[in-house]
Structure 1
Amino acid sequence: MVLRFFKMILINQCVLISTAFSLWTITSFLCHHIAKEFLIQSGPTLTGVCIISFCQLLFCVSCLEITAEDNHESIHQKGNLKHFKLICGVSHVVATLSTNYSMSLIRASSTFAIKMLEPVTSALVQWVVFAVTPSVSTVLSLPIIVTGAVIFTGNPFQDAILSRGLIWALVSNLALAFRNIAMKKLFDVKMQIVPRSVQSILSVNAVALVGLVILAKTPNGLDVAPLYILSLISAIFHVLYSYLSVALVLKTLSVVTHALLNIFKRVCVVVLLCIAGKGVLNIENISGLLLSFIGLIIYTLQKTQLHMSTIIGGVREPDMAFEIGSVERFVSPTFDILWMRRSDDESTKYQMPYIPHQLSYHVADWLSWPTPKSPAMEYAFHIATNGMLFLQRGRVVITDRLHGHILSTLLGIPHVILDNNYHKVSSYHLNSAGL
């Protein structure tokens, strides 16, 4: 019964990852494909590029905002973060304009093939601007990805328009690199991207609908209406894609899983854009795409090894508790599930789910499991031992406490982690566990 309960949790996790990946890929494809359709119908002009970009950015600003996770910022923090928010905004504007201008010149699939360079471009920007030495993976993968992208798109030196399109795609990569670095700084100080109020989102949609009605009543308005609708749909998917990629996917998945899925997402979008754009997937295109894919794999695998390089004896050591080392169970479980539910201010106040009656379970916080006072060093050992006794009462542990997770790991107890109210547990798991 316990295994069935755990199997259900794992299935839910797989469904969550699959759903996040599917939505991420589909919204990215639709955003770029519909924008390309708009640019084809409006003509590859700078005016068309500005119109579609303006719609996408207007919807972004109207529907999303950057705010503190605890809903308040100190005056000092506001001053320090203001320039990072500015960099995010300006970089996003430049990236959007550059991507759309590139798609007005070349196939959307070719633009996105160049955008596969984005993670490596970010590493190079960190090297040039922040003096962060590029990893071996960056040096090895960059020429492979570039060669694959050139094979896929064609020789840029033989076509001036193709050259310009690829250059603007690279400009978009550079802008996104600065945006992502600035966003990382904001995430590090507990900032987040969230939807604006329902009133704000409804207002921008109402304005869009009013604009469509006015347009339909003007002379020749019905001729322009399809373009207007395309721009609105592209803008909506632009918001969804931006929110999913930055605010949800990276927070739902670990750093390594996010990087791996991002490779498959980029390849899927390139293929979808190529098919939707009625491009021909010949041997040359496929080989170029495959070469870029291999380059991205090399880059990501090296990053994965670096992420796990501090693992000692199979367990990463970012917390002093890991100095205890692995510990064999020395107490037999008395419950199928021990649910360590924190009762302090860090609790998220979640509702308890239904637990099948066939399972025995106990819900408590280890604040109710006191440790006898003793001299400082001895007291630390007593706390650790008492915590292990508390946890070993469960065949399976569910906990929203960080050290409940860590001690369960050392004891080899199967366990499920829940987050606290400021994401300490999930941040530790995603950034330190590498899972």
Structure 2
Amino acid sequence: METSFLRSLVVFLVWTLTSFACHFCAKLFLKETAHFTAGFSVTVLTGMQIIFCLAFTKVSDKSDTEVTTNKYVIFAAHACATLATNWSMSFTYAASTFAIKLMEPLTSALLQRFLLGVRLSYLQWMSIPAVVYGAIVFAADDKTRHFNVSNGVILAFISNICLSFRNVYMKKNHLSKSQFCIYSLRLSLSVLVSSTITAILVANYLVYVKIVPSGSLYIYSLLIGSSLFHVSYSYISTIVVLKHCSVVGHAFGNIFKRFSVIGFLYMAGSRTASTSNFIGLFICVTGLAVYTLSKRNETEICAANMDLETKYRNTVRNKLFIICISAANIVMVFLANYGKNGSSLAYNMNSITYSRKLSLSKRLDFSIGDFFSTDLVQNPEEANKLSPLLTTRPDVIEEAQRIHNNIFKSLLGRYKYAMLFNYSPSENKGDSAIVVGEVILLRKLNINVVFACESRCTKKHLDKAQVLSRKYTDNELIILLHGGGNVIGFQRADYMRSDVIPRFLRFNIIMFPQSILYFNQHSHLNFCKKLYAMHANLTFIWRDENSYILGKNFFPKVRSLLSPDMAYQIGFTPRFMQPIYDILWIKREDAESPVYETPEAPINLRMHVSDWLNWKTPRGLSPMEDTFLMTTNGMMFLQRGRIVITDRLHGHILSTLLAIPHVYIDNKQRKISNYHNTWTAGLENVILANSSLDAVAKARQLLIKLDKDLPEIEGFYTNSN
């Protein structure tokens, strides 16, 4: 009995791991091939998985007409289920597909009753809704709570029904003493190795001759991996597991297999369990216990030829197996959440370790552990509690990205698609850096941008976006407005947003971090108040505390949050070129300029003054590519100086990313100092100057203070003026 139990446990674990690996590789393959049409990627993936099934499996023993018919039905149902599952994953979240597949016991029970004639007792019928409902509640997270009928959901239901058909007809094969089995292991391995080596050689050759991109080998590996794991878990599911239980019992086993995957996610910290999740687990286990205990009244098909003693041993073994798996899931969820949320000791110890590594300008008067666990969407005033106290660039950048992660995972976590409007591929390198940060964030969150329109977005482009949006539900698609510093102060930017917002009233709209520039334009302010009040689900994120306060006052119907500029998503960037000047001065000459005279360069110091608008960037193949090139070019512009003087906000932000000490001159709207006081007030070697003369004097002080730490001017520049 012990040997049988251990064998069952090993089979269950292998079944779980191969299933998880198959769908994980498949999801990555679909993501990496997203630039193709969805139908093409899904067809290739499904075709390869089915080819592997045909190549490695065969029908043994009997070969009569009924068995042959069953074989074709099984392969057809399996192929349809695989296609529907893959297509569903390309449309919707895996979590939504998962929730739908938890309905499998119900469809299996119905098909088993009508096609195999196996009756279930009243207790068993009553247990099925409890198991299904409890499983869905246990598996629920932010994605499945926003459940919504869509193409992906419909395809998942189709997959569910097809799998039930497959299992019923596979059970018929087991009863007829005919079954699927793996071909000769030696032959199978030989075919696999030879085909893999050939494919790798072909793929490398195609990469070498530049017919396909360099990532093709990785994509091929995902395709092969998914196909191999598909054969493995399908074999275990239909031949090993289904042979020893009923179709409904197999469906219950599938639920616990999926439970185990979720348990691993809890242990890894990818998910946390709420009280409702625990209640769902309890309901599901109770329903399963009722089903198992009532099986004494069911004539098990697989036990038709067994004696009473064997049947008794199997029943005890199955009950023990179910109890152990249930207990393991409960323990995994409890320990994971106790370690992550419930145990103040474990959590605070991690927080203390983190706080000791931080370089602070003064002692903290709040609990760092409580602060890190704060939801900044629900408590936006808490966002800048720590950042102004940090004195080193890595700490400031890491904290900015942590705040982004806190806010945007909450706001965007359930969405799969996005439209981005009014981004700016501008020689104003700061605007481009914001776009780059926005794109990096969306990639981290695995959100696919299905439409992007730059600041010159025409009515034709907007009409196209509006038509495209009808393909998505409001829980799949999010509308995003580009960040920057142009609310109220730049009327054209508000007018562009007025073209976008009325077209997408069905969807949530979020504006990336912005600043308010208020020039006492009362008529335009009233226009903005009416515009931004018209949308019921509009969120504005402000990038400095002053704008946050103004935003809440001006737009009380709009949800206001506080977050650092999106350019911080670029992260800490080491210098990649030597300086040419001692002082590099960015001097703007537009409406936001502080307006000052540039003094003469100090004796024996090389100083260059210009605006990066005039530092032209080579163009790429698209406006989006241009933003990345312009951002890199802006970093090159700054690195020409050992020290930077700037009156542009992103001169300050990009210098922070590059670890270039700098002096800033503020304008009348206090755009830079508002940001500096909100997020970077504690940074060393970042100094506010009161005038242009003061800026030069402070830049010279920094040069003297940091001379040994700053890179030297090398080459012929050392002897030229």
- Which residue of structure 2 aligns with residue 206 of structure 1? 194
- Which residue of structure 1 aligns with residue 50 of structure 2? 57
Whether contact under 8 Å (2:102, 2:136) holds in the other structure is no
- Which residue of structure 1 aligns with residue 27 of structure 2? 36
- Which residue of structure 1 aligns with residue 298 of structure 2? 307
Give RMSD over aligned pairs: 3.7
Whether contact under 8 Å (1:62, 1:201) holds in the other structure is no
Match of 2:97 among 89, 111, 120: 111
User: What are the ranges of 5 or more consecutive residues in structure 1 without an aligned counterpart?
Assistant: 1-9, 310-316, 320-401, 410-428
Matched residue SS, 2:214: helix
Q: 1:270 to 1:27 in 2, by over 3 A?
A: same
- Which residue of structure 2 aligns with residue 217 of structure 1? 205
Larger radius of gyration: 2
- Which residue of structure 2 aligns with residue 244 of structure 1? 236
- Which residue of structure 2 aligns with residue 417 of structure 1? none
AA aligned opposite 2:44: I
Deviation of 1:296 after TM superposition, in Å, equals 4.3
AA aligned opposite 1:15: L
> Distance in 2 between the 1:181 and 1:98 partners?
19
Whether contact under 8 Å (2:95, 2:144) holds in the other structure is no
> Distance in 2 between the 1:46 and 1:164 partners?
13
- Which residue of structure 1 aligns with residue 68 of structure 2? 82
Q: 1:133 to 1:212 in 2, by over 3 A?
A: same
1:181 aligns with 2:168: yes
Deviation of 1:79 after TM superposition, in Å, equals 1.7
> Distance in 2 between the 1:318 and 1:157 partners?
43
Whether contact under 8 Å (2:127, 2:287) holds in the other structure is yes
Q: 1:298 to 1:33 in 2, by over 3 A?
A: farther
AA aligned opposite 2:226: S
Whether contact under 8 Å (2:19, 2:230) holds in the other structure is yes
Matched residue SS, 1:114: helix
Deviation of 1:175 after TM superposition, in Å, equals 0.6
Deviation of 1:178 after TM superposition, in Å, equals 0.9
**Number of equivalenced pairs:** 304
Matched residue SS, 2:223: helix
Deviation of 1:305 after TM superposition, in Å, equals 3.0
Whether contact under 8 Å (1:63, 1:201) holds in the other structure is no
Q: 1:138 to 1:103 in 2, by over 3 A?
A: farther
Whether contact under 8 Å (1:35, 1:231) holds in the other structure is yes
Q: 1:109 to 1:225 in 2, by over 3 A?
A: same
Q: State the identity as a percent.
A: 32
Deviation of 1:125 after TM superposition, in Å, equals 2.3
Which aligned pairs between 1:307-346 and structure 2 lie closer than 5 A?
Answer: 307=298
AA aligned opposite 1:82: T
AA aligned opposite 1:38: F
Q: 1:286 to 1:156 in 2, by over 3 A?
A: same
1:196 aligns with 2:188: no
Matched residue SS, 1:171: helix
Deviation of 1:288 after TM superposition, in Å, equals 4.5
> Distance in 2 between the 1:243 and 1:99 partners?
17
Query: Could you tell me the TM-score, scaled by structure 1's length?
Result: 0.59
Deviation of 1:29 after TM superposition, in Å, equals 1.5
1:269 aligns with 2:257: no
Whether contact under 8 Å (2:131, 2:284) holds in the other structure is yes
Deviation of 1:98 after TM superposition, in Å, equals 1.4
Matched residue SS, 1:190: coil
- Which residue of structure 2 aligns with residue 14 of structure 1? 5
Deviation of 1:212 after TM superposition, in Å, equals 2.5
AA aligned opposite 1:85: K
Matched residue SS, 1:208: helix
> Distance in 2 between the 1:291 and 1:93 partners?
34
Residues 85-119 of structure 1: CA distance to partner in whole angstroms, max 9, x if unpaired? 11100000011111122222333243233222223
Whether contact under 8 Å (1:108, 1:277) holds in the other structure is no
> Distance in 1 between the 2:314 and 2:198 partners?
50
- Which residue of structure 2 aligns with residue 313 of structure 1? none
> Distance in 2 between the 1:215 and 1:98 partners?
28
Residues 299-345 of structure 1: CA distance to partner in whole angstroms, max 9, x if unpaired? 4443x232379xxxxxxx989xxxxxxxxxxxxxxxxxxxxxxxxxx
Whether contact under 8 Å (1:308, 1:434) holds in the other structure is no
Query: Could you tell me the TM-score, scaled by structure 2's length?
Result: 0.37
1:229 aligns with 2:221: yes
Higher helix fraction (1 or 2): 1
Deviation of 1:229 after TM superposition, in Å, equals 0.5
AA aligned opposite 2:42: V
> Distance in 1 between the 2:42 and 2:266 partners?
20
- Which residue of structure 2 aligns with residue 120 of structure 1? 106
Q: 1:36 to 1:284 in 2, by over 3 A?
A: farther
More RCO (CA 8 Å, sep 6+): 1
Q: 1:147 to 1:261 in 2, by over 3 A?
A: closer
Q: 1:46 to 1:296 in 2, by over 3 A?
A: farther
Match of 2:17 among 17, 26, 29: 26
AA aligned opposite 2:59: I
> Distance in 2 between the 1:203 and 1:140 partners?
48
Deviation of 1:188 after TM superposition, in Å, equals 0.9
- Which residue of structure 2 aligns with residue 366 of structure 1? none
AA aligned opposite 2:205: K
Deviation of 1:203 after TM superposition, in Å, equals 1.9
- Which residue of structure 1 aligns with residue 427 of structure 2? none
> Distance in 1 between the 2:293 and 2:85 partners?
28
Whether contact under 8 Å (1:215, 1:222) holds in the other structure is no
AA aligned opposite 1:114: I
> Distance in 2 between the 1:262 and 1:205 partners?
31
- Which residue of structure 1 aligns with residue 77 of structure 2? 91
Whether contact under 8 Å (1:149, 1:288) holds in the other structure is yes
> Distance in 2 between the 1:224 and 1:287 partners?
45
Deviation of 1:223 after TM superposition, in Å, equals 1.7
Q: 1:156 to 1:200 in 2, by over 3 A?
A: closer
Per mean C-alpha deviation after superposition, the further-off stretch among 13-22 and 24-33 is: 13-22
Q: 1:127 to 1:273 in 2, by over 3 A?
A: farther
Whether contact under 8 Å (2:121, 2:298) holds in the other structure is no
Residues 202-230 of structure 1: CA distance to partner in whole angstroms, max 9, x if unpaired? 22442233122212221234222211101
Residues 162-185 of structure 1: CA distance to partner in whole angstroms, max 9, x if unpaired? 643332222111111111111111
Whether contact under 8 Å (1:117, 1:146) holds in the other structure is yes
